Amino acid sequence: MSSRRYVRYARRNAVLCSCSTTMRRTTQYSDGNFISPAEFIPIAEKVGVIDKVDGMVFRKSAEFFRRLVRETGLDLTLSINASVKHLMKNGFIDEIRDLIDSSGITSEQLEIEKRNPYS
């Protein structure tokens, strides 16, 4: 799956305080067009691969976040979005623990948000 990550940030007193990732899917032929998450996330949920998609985004986001914190020394929070189906899956908590352990970020640096449904 080819995806591009964008980091957006909230400002508090003109200081970077949090990061959030947004998934965007590029078309197969790399013509520069994006497929909206409203189109591909429901398909991933329907075919049962949303946890794999979310997991990939979680890992890549945590790796980027760890490097950003290490390079800047800023006290930041990473916000990740998970689908309801993924949140309710057995093993979700273990997956998040593994993410924290493997990425080197702390639980205090991580926020998990329920993704809004696209239906």
| pLDDT tens figures, 16-59 | 666 766 666 655 656 667 777 788 888 888 998 988 988 998 99
CA distance 88 to 49: 14
Q: What's the structural domain count of the chain? A: 1
- Domain region containing 66: 3-114
Question: For residues 53, 36, 112 and 94, what is the CA-based torsion angle, rounded to 10 degrees?
Answer: -10
Note whether residue 48 is domain-resident.
Answer: yes
Note whether residue 47 is domain-resident.
Answer: yes
- How many angstroms separate the Cα of 68 from the Cα of each of 23, 27, 40, 47, 51? 19, 29, 28, 34, 25
Note whether residue 50 is domain-resident.
Answer: yes
What pLDDT, on a 0 to 100 scale, did the predictor assign at position 24?
61
Q: The domain that contains 80 carries what CATH number?
A: 3.20.20.450
Scanning 9-119, the segments in alpha helix (DSSP H) are 37-47, 50-72, 84-87, 92-103
Q: What is the mean pLDDT of residues 67-86?
A: 88
Note whether residue 53 is domain-resident.
Answer: yes
Note whether residue 119 is domain-resident.
Answer: no
Residue 13, SS3 per DSSP: coil
The proportion of the chain whose per-residue pLDDT surpasses 70, expressed as a percent, equals: 71
